[in-house]
Structure 1
Amino acid sequence: MAAQAQQKAKPEDTEVWEPVPKVVQPGQVHLQAPSDAFMLFDGKNLDQWVSTKDRTQPAGWTVANGVMTVNKPAGNIETKKTFTDYQLHIEWRIPENINLEGQSRGNSGIFLASTGKGDDGYELQVLDSYQNKTYVNGMAGSIYKQFVPLANPAKKPGEWQSYDIFWKAPVFEADGTMKSPARVTVLFNGVLVQNNVELLGPTQYIGTPTYKAHGASPIKLQAHGDKSEPISFRNIWIRELK
């Protein structure tokens, strides 16, 4: 019966539109990596990244002027290294000339643990949420289709924005059963938008999340298949938490 229900489900079934998080004017957040951080992208190259489609192949995004930019035909990219618990800092920018609406307005995502070749994993949404109406569990700062952000501190397109993420990976017993679920805290432009939330499972565009056992995983950046101009990233560093 559960499988039949999933087959009949539609994407709209899991969209939440109200209440809309309050708008907060953020400050400037550009954090220099601390001494024990590992640089995932320092503006020079994509040596720490590979293609999600084929991990034996290099990441196919572009690097120029200290910035990496999505190359949609190349698809998603993910880290060479795998991680469990960590602190992650990442900065991103929506193109200034974007002119679409809703989920087509600068859509990307940070998969906090990538569990497959496509859009599998636990997604923190990247989107233009500056005066852009969409379902609130799909706006920037949301854990996509699971948790609405506590506030909306989004900046205008063309301005750099930041996420500071504190990720606690799920833990599974030897037989694959759940021991403890994933948890995450997120600061968006310095504003708390996810406060140690307990994830329901990996992201599902349609249907209900369900955990499947996995171990240490890469972090994935999404090349979303919409018509908007490509999103850019910079200053990505991580601290593994033991």
Structure 2
Amino acid sequence: MMRKTIIAALAALTITLSAFAQKDEFAGFYKGTVEAKKCYPTTSCPDVYAEVYRGPNQKYRLRLLPVIMSRCDVFYDLDNLEAKDGKIEFKGASKAYDLKGEITPKEIVAEGFVHGKNPAKLKLERMEIVPPTLGQKAPEGAVVLFDGKNFDAWRHGDPNIPVNWTLKDGVMTVRPAIKEGKKRIGGSIFTKEKFGPFKLHLEFMMPGYYDKLGQARANSGVIVGDYEVQLLDSFGTEGLWNECASVYRQVAPLVNASTEPGTWQTYDIIFKPAVLENGKLVKLPTFTVWHNGVLVQKETEIAYKTSLFPDKGAEYRHSGEPVSIQLQDHGDLLSFRNIWLQKL
């Protein structure tokens, strides 16, 4: 029975690996212009952006937006699109536009009407978003937590188990926890050193679990002591309190700054622990977070420890003591590189 369990676990891992082996060729952001008579939404600016999202069953969604990584209105929203022969053809009316066109991995071209009567032509090109701190080297005096060579700065949650995440080409990838007899493989990892206030730089890549939704769509977290900044494939979502760059189940990000799965993304996180005087809390801990260079949490107060049940937060007592940083194993194969920290 144990042997069958191990084989089943490894088979599941193989399926998971194959599920994101290839980055989707259409999913991502596009940018271009609209040629049309001056009318809303083209009155002030002819620029237009597109977001192509892939969901379950190889179905796609196309949205046209005035800007990306912002809580803005949507000008066009067409779902249940299918790829065939290297392109996605679309036709239909939605919100401001009635369009017919096609999406390729390089561009989107369409013709139609704005508000049903004004002829319009659109052409957008695929965007490659490079976060401003991507590849940034650790400054002098910084604590290097991962430089692609080893796990020396990390420990397993169980002191008897070594860190055995996958390490390849300077990248470490979550190895989900399984049991092999009495031996555990994989699991969350923690920094050996504990830290007070700090600024953390971390680069991560989401696998493309295109047939999953919500919290099953590539889940992990950067957990500082008891407080979590969520990691999740949230490309194309609203940016809720349990999605990427949220203070998990407490505060949603200011905007959703996620890029598509298979791209390298960045977190730059400033953490300040709670301040206590004579054992009395005088200042809550805070996170300031930049996701892909976009400010998504600004001195956000953390009211209680991360929990699925926030109503229990009133029972929590902050300590203000130095803490370890955890990279969470949530069963999904996220990858990490270039992790360093500056003590503040």
TM-score in terms of structure 1 length: 0.80
Are the structure 2 counterparts of residues 109 and 98 from structure 1 closer, same or farther at C-alpha, using a change threshold of 3 Å?
same
Contact conserved, 1:21 with 1:149, CA < 8 A, in 2? no
Q: How big is the shift at 1:122?
A: 0.2
Are the structure 2 counterparts of residues 188 and 211 from structure 1 closer, same or farther at C-alpha, using a change threshold of 3 Å?
same
3-state secondary structure, aligned to 1:136? coil
What are the ranges of 5 or more consecutive residues in structure 2 without an aligned counterpart?
A: 1-68, 73-126, 178-185
Q: How big is the shift at 1:158?
A: 0.3
Match of 2:218 in 1: 106
* AA partner of residue 223 (structure 1): D
Contact conserved, 2:201 with 2:341, CA < 8 A, in 1? yes
3-state secondary structure, aligned to 2:268? strand
More strand by percentage: 2
Q: How big is the shift at 1:207?
A: 3.1
Residue 164 of structure 1 pairs with residue 164 of structure 2:
no
Contact conserved, 2:219 with 2:231, CA < 8 A, in 1? yes
Q: How big is the shift at 1:98?
A: 4.0
Q: How big is the shift at 1:147?
A: 0.7
Match of 2:149 in 1: 44
Are the structure 2 counterparts of residues 110 and 222 from structure 1 closer, same or farther at C-alpha, using a change threshold of 3 Å?
same
Residue 88 of structure 1 pairs with residue 235 of structure 2:
no
Q: How big is the shift at 1:204?
A: 1.2
The count of residues paired between Structure 1 and Structure 2 equals: 208
Mapping 1:61-76, distance limit 5 Å: 61-73=165-177, 74-76=186-188
Q: Residues of 2 paired with 1:56 and 1:21: CA distance? A: 45
Match of 1:204 in 2: 307
Match of 2:233 in 1: 128
* AA partner of residue 84 (structure 1): G
3-state secondary structure, aligned to 1:137? coil
Match of 2:131 in 1: 28
* AA partner of residue 235 (structure 2): Y
Q: How big is the shift at 1:97?
A: 5.2
Mapping 1:183-222, distance limit 5 Å: 183-208=286-311, 209=313, 210-213=316-319, 215-222=321-328
Match of 1:141 in 2: 245
Q: Residues of 2 paired with 1:197 and 1:140: CA distance? A: 15
Are the structure 2 counterparts of residues 71 and 212 from structure 1 closer, same or farther at C-alpha, using a change threshold of 3 Å?
same
Q: How big is the shift at 1:213?
A: 2.5
The structure that has the greater radius of gyration is 2
Q: How big is the shift at 1:99?
A: 2.7
Match of 2:283 in 1: 180
3-state secondary structure, aligned to 2:310? coil
* AA partner of residue 227 (structure 2): Y
What are the ranges of 5 or more consecutive residues in structure 1 without an aligned counterpart?
A: 1-19, 115-120
% identity of equivalent residues: 38
Instruction: Please report the RMSD computed on the Cα atoms of aligned residues, expressed in angstroms.
Output: 2.1
3-state secondary structure, aligned to 2:215? helix
Q: Residues of 2 paired with 1:206 and 1:97: CA distance? A: 26
Contact conserved, 1:82 with 1:218, CA < 8 A, in 2? yes
Q: Residues of 2 paired with 1:169 and 1:201: CA distance? A: 12
User: Per-residue CA shift, 1:117-162, capped at 9, x if unaligned?
Assistant: xxxx1000000111246x7001111000111111111111000100
3-state secondary structure, aligned to 1:40? strand
Residue 231 of structure 1 pairs with residue 334 of structure 2:
yes
Match of 2:164 in 1: 60
* AA partner of residue 138 (structure 1): N
3-state secondary structure, aligned to 2:241? helix
Q: Residues of 2 paired with 1:82 and 1:56: CA distance? A: 19
Quick check: 165-174 or 34-43, which moved more?
Answer: 165-174
Q: How big is the shift at 1:214?
A: 5.3
* AA partner of residue 220 (structure 1): Q
Bigger relative CO (Cα 8 Å, ≥ 6 apart):
1
Contact conserved, 2:274 with 2:318, CA < 8 A, in 1? no
